[in-house]
Amino acid sequence: MSGLLSLLITALFALLLRKYVASRKKHLPYPPGPKPMPLIGNILDLPTDDVPSAYVEWAKKYKSSILHASALGSHIVVLNDVEDAIELFERRARIYSDRPEYPIRKLMGWDHNFALTRYGDEWRYCRKITQEHFRKEAVKNYHDVISQKVHAMLDGLLQSPNKFEHHNKMLSVSIPMKTMYGYDVESINDRCITVTDKSLLLGSPLFLPGASLINIFPILAFIPSWFPGASSRKIAAEVKQLTEEVIQAPMNWAKMRMVEGTAVPSLVTHFLEKKNTIGASAAEERAIGDVAYTVNGAASDTTISATGSFLYFMAVNHGIQKKAQREIDRVVGRNRLPDFSDRPTMPYLEAIYREVLRCRQPLDMGLPHCLTEDDHYKGYFIPKGTIVLGNIWAMTHDEKSYPEPFAFKPERFFDEKGDLNDDDRILAYGFGRRGCVGKHVASATLWLTFASILATFNIEKAKDDSGREIPISDEYQEFGFISHKTPFECSITPRSHGHRQLIEEVNLLNK
């Protein structure tokens, strides 16, 4: 055993040395960043806490919005400026659209998640299916499901307002489950939710760069789990089992409903029906399962995060909430709930939607892109294989583009004439060919959720026993790639008896 150990340590050392020697070859300089240590590079410098603002501090320190760091021979470039992100991720999309290869991904079964798949045919096939289903026009097909689930959330808030996080989760999970598989999630304890949660809880920490040594030394994927650093293989195996269930169980459920003739139209049943008439290969069936699984994961946590931010911003910005409610009352009245046809006539609500996603992005560092060829930019060298991160939070908190960037101010999206300005690109959805393919679904869901909650409820800070408001901190916490508002208390009460009745009536009709 000790012979094998020393062989492996020698192999790891040789690998590092080769990478180190290669990195010393003459070329244009890398973008500015902290000085790397021999062999281990900047592994000790990389921020792990409040990552986006740590990179803003780096930008000030190194006087550059493009930053470079290296870790054990791998290169990382961080873009803090939107112009650089557009130039590299979009104009040079051919070479900046890959995702990094983390060996742990396959071990956990997450290679079925096409948001994390390498840039190639497999990704192209899945992206094409989702693009067809989620383009702006096609999203109208989802309006009924979205409305039904948003109305159910209002009912939940009516029954148990203190459990708003629970209702938020139900909303965000139930829309993709219904649209992908035709499955109605009945409760937060539904196995499809608990298994997904467990796989994410175990798997997300391993997936972050540097979290598992397997991500740095792929060789560890092939050696026994007793070897130091390879223990994450055990956890990965458990995650893989859970992931298989997350993919297969709802697929099998949809197939059973088709056999019984009780299937509800969904992406999966639509595909399986087509398969029955014109045929499809096992690989195509696997791909559709992967698409549905990916969408399920990509849609739920991001929507939970954005809706949580909305409730927080409303609770701490009373005047803005009242202004939005006045707009809703003017356009919608008090005898019905908002619907999608109201959207173009409610600019202030539109500005609130933009401002929520400007202030807080569910993925504040986006998802990592990866460069497939050596490149030069602004006099710097960016080697093939570099992981390129867009610091979306930095781009939306740049004082020049957004004065008073830390203030929640929907008014910033209006011009001098009082019309909505043309700053309608939501950077929170990322960039280029890997940009969020579900952004129109997300936009429709968030807009209707915000409009419906504001139309019917007042959101305020909770009060303690002596009637004093309980302050809400502005803290966020990262879970995997996703940033969530830390838990907080708030009071959510119906605006009037009429609003309560309206919610009850609408939900009765939906049943």
In the complex, the residues that contact ligand HEM under the rule CB under 6 A are 115, 127, 130, 134, 294-295, 298-299, 302-303, 306, 361-363, 366-367, 369, 428-431, 434-438, 441-442
Helix, coil or strand: residue 126: helix
Check the CA dihedral 444-447-450-456 and report its sign.
negative
88 versus 254: smaller Cβ distance to ligand HEM: 88
**For the residues of 242-302, what is the DSSP string, one character each?**
HHHHHHHHHHHHHHHHHHHT-PPP-HHHHHHHHHHHH---HHHHHHHHHHHHHHHHHHHHH
* 436 assigned ligand-binding residue: yes
Query: Shortest distance, CB of residue 139 to ligand HEM, whole angstroms?
Result: 9
Contact 461, 315 (CB under 8 A): yes
Angle among Cα 347, 353, 336 to the nearest 5 degrees reads 65
Among candidate residues 312, 302, 303, the one with its CA nearest the CA of residue 488 = 312
Query: Shortest distance, CB of residue 461 to ligand HEM, whole angstroms?
Result: 25
Q: At what angle do helices 164-181 and 143-159 cross, to 10 degrees?
A: 160
The number of angstroms, rounded, from the C-alpha of 77 to the middle of its chain's C-alpha atoms is 20
Query: Shortest distance, CB of residue 196 to ligand HEM, whole angstroms?
Result: 15
Q: Which residue has the tokens 């549905």?
A: 292
134 versus 217: smaller Cβ distance to ligand HEM: 134
Token pair belonging to 15: 């690998």
- Phi, psi angle pair for 66, to nearest 5°: -95, 130
89 versus 488: smaller Cβ distance to ligand HEM: 89
Percent helix, strand and coil across the chain, each to the nearest 5? 55, 10, 35
303 versus 458: smaller Cβ distance to ligand HEM: 303
**Cβ contacts of 225 within 8 Å, gap of 6 or more:** 231, 233, 234
H helix and E strand count, the chain:
17, 10
Query: Shortest distance, CB of residue 415 to ligand HEM, whole angstroms?
Result: 25
Query: Shortest distance, CB of residue 444 to ligand HEM, whole angstroms?
Result: 9
- Phi, psi angle pair for 85, to nearest 5°: -65, -40
268 versus 506: smaller Cβ distance to ligand HEM: 268
Query: Shortest distance, CB of residue 308 to ligand HEM, whole angstroms?
Result: 11
36 versus 366: smaller Cβ distance to ligand HEM: 366
d(CA 232, CA 213): 8
Among candidate residues 53, 84, 71, 72, the one with its CA nearest the CA of residue 478 = 53
- Please give the C-alpha separations between residue 470 and each of 162, 465, 466, 467, in angstroms, as whole numbers: 14, 10, 11, 9
328 versus 392: smaller Cβ distance to ligand HEM: 392
Among candidate residues 332, 329, 20, 307, the one with its CA nearest the CA of residue 12 = 20
36 versus 432: smaller Cβ distance to ligand HEM: 432
Residue nearest to ligand HEM (CB): 438
Instruction: Name the CA radius of gyration of the chain, rounded.
Output: 24
Query: Shortest distance, CB of residue 419 to ligand HEM, whole angstroms?
Result: 25
305 versus 458: smaller Cβ distance to ligand HEM: 305
Query: Shortest distance, CB of residue 261 to ligand HEM, whole angstroms?
Result: 28
Query: Shortest distance, CB of residue 361 to ligand HEM, whole angstroms?
Result: 6
d(CA 349, CA 17): 56
**Per the annotation, where are the binding residues for heme?**
436
**Per the annotation, where are the binding residues?**
436
